[in-house]
Structure 1
């Protein structure tokens, strides 16, 4: 549990660093450096894995594995871009609905049975998202749709992860996540690169290290405990990111946003319990 909470703290810090850098530099340029570092981290893990890199790179679903990597880098871009448009608090409050989207899509995509209780939880989460968006109050930001699209994309990524998990080892999935994402973000490299000032390279280095550290803690947590027991702790990322938004960037915690986020998180936890 401590490893999982630590991973969420690192990811929340990573989001704050991403927002700071993305407000000054190209979002894709920031992700380019971040993914190069991530790809190096993945390569080191692959070399040290049992059987070496040749064993890790073998996949029975290489196309789906590569598609996952591209989808994830696209989702990260959408989220980082939304941080600069609507802030960490709003973005994470909306994005917290992605477990409910996974539950809703699990039926038609994977053929899983979704009970009435789980559908009620999904509906409650949708109400929570509407509270955050407040579309009829004149406060709706079109950028919020970017977060919803990111959540839907991440839900699809999660479902694909389940599919490839039936055929490939976790190390193989992790390898393709980093390498395919790095290749996808490198292709437009000459057009998205922006020079980074010397004093910001410290924050860029910290961003790269935090990404690798967060994944390492998450892997260690999943190695010693069941994913279903750790999933509720993933909502700590919302808490840590929101705290960074308020303390570092001076964002406002609107009562309706807090109420909507609480409803979304509560619905997610209820859905997790109902799915056991």
Structure 2
């Protein structure tokens, strides 16, 4: 198997694991406080991150060495709160609609890359961004009586994740990937612990089992993602990340009894098509400039 195909295989496996993780997050978030669930998840994730940092950098001090500590800490805080918002979206709307709206985050990255990073976005990508946001409007159906404020929760999560992605690209110019990964896990674990301990609830033994599985899947998903980026270019495998929407929707339909409304299917199709076009176009532009 070529490196390209191995990278795609790793990315497909990543999306499947993350979709299962989202299903477990929804289950636990319906029963227990979301801050507590995310806090425990981050404890395991931080241990995984520190182990990776020690392996790649040789020491925690070397992994934590950064020229832009404020931005790195803000990135870690942003992602930890984004996860809380996304789990809340799964609880409020379900996996299908939550992921359908969240799928717009690559379009938000493209739209914000100009003002945040000073990158040039051509008219083709702006057209794709416009199509994607038409898809979001189809999903949300504003003014139809179906729209609820809860539908804005996954959109807020997508906006936060897009900003996190842009800041990750920003710090990559001066810090290594290992350093950024280290701050992602440790800052998130500290922030969620400071908040989550105030919302601690007793958990029944069965749910501790689900919680353990959630933690293992989180680490496994990130390991698979790292392997995908190790063997293939990120721009080549990133379009396959949309399969998480497919896997999560199947999980929502068959396990949680969710329904797939026609407007959600049509809108999600527009969002995914626009997002894939944006990713492919960005890859071609980068290749021509290189």
- What TM-score comes out, normalization by structure 2 length? 0.94
Work out the CA distance in 2 between the residues paired with 1:121 and 1:97. Answer: 11
Corresponding residue of 2:66: 59
Show the 5 A alignment for 1:70-89.
70-89=77-96
Q: Deviations over 1:148-188 (max 9, x none)?
A: 11111111101100010001110111000000000110112
Whether 1:125 and 2:132 are equivalent positions in the alignment is yes
Query: Secondary structure of the residue that 1:60 maps to in structure 2?
Result: coil
Aligned CA RMSD, in angstroms, stands at: 0.9
Show the 5 A alignment for 1:31-50.
31-50=38-57
Whether 1:218 and 2:229 are equivalent positions in the alignment is no
Whether 1:260 and 2:280 are equivalent positions in the alignment is no
Work out the CA distance in 2 between the residues paired with 1:195 and 1:238. Answer: 32
Match for residue 147 of structure 1 among 131, 149, 154:
154
Q: Deviations over 1:27-74 (max 9, x none)?
A: 111011000111111111122224322221111111111111100011
Corresponding residue of 2:171: 164
Whether 1:25 and 2:32 are equivalent positions in the alignment is yes
Work out the CA distance in 2 between the residues paired with 1:71 and 1:161. Answer: 11
Work out the CA distance in 2 between the residues paired with 1:120 and 1:168. Answer: 33
Work out the CA distance in 1 between the residues paired with 2:102 and 2:189. Answer: 23
Match for residue 175 of structure 1 among 172, 182, 202:
182
Q: For the Cα contact (< 8 Å) 2:140–2:151, is it kept in 1?
A: yes
Q: Deviations over 1:67-88 (max 9, x none)?
A: 1110001110001001111100
Q: Deviations over 1:215-259 (max 9, x none)?
A: 000001100100000110000111111111001000001111000
* Uncovered stretches (5+) of structure 2, i.e. residues with no partner: 1-7, 285-290
Show the 5 A alignment for 1:84-95.
84-95=91-102
Work out the CA distance in 1 between the residues paired with 2:139 and 2:57. Answer: 46
Query: Secondary structure of the residue that 2:94 maps to in structure 1?
Result: helix
Work out the CA distance in 2 between the residues paired with 1:3 and 1:190. Answer: 35
Corresponding residue of 1:242: 249
Whether 1:109 and 2:123 are equivalent positions in the alignment is no
Work out the CA distance in 2 between the residues paired with 1:33 and 1:50. Answer: 26
* Uncovered stretches (5+) of structure 1, i.e. residues with no partner: none
Which aligned runs of 4 or more in structure 1 are off by greater than 6 angstroms? Answer: none
Work out the CA distance in 1 between the residues paired with 2:96 and 2:203. Answer: 26
Q: For the Cα contact (< 8 Å) 1:37–1:208, is it kept in 2?
A: yes
Query: Secondary structure of the residue that 1:167 maps to in structure 2?
Result: coil
Query: Secondary structure of the residue that 1:117 maps to in structure 2?
Result: helix
Work out the CA distance in 1 between the residues paired with 2:271 and 2:102. Answer: 9
Q: For the Cα contact (< 8 Å) 2:235–2:280, is it kept in 1?
A: no
Q: C-alpha displacement at 1:273, in angstroms?
A: 2.1
After superposing the two structures, state which structure 1 stretch, 156-165 or 47-56, moved more: 47-56
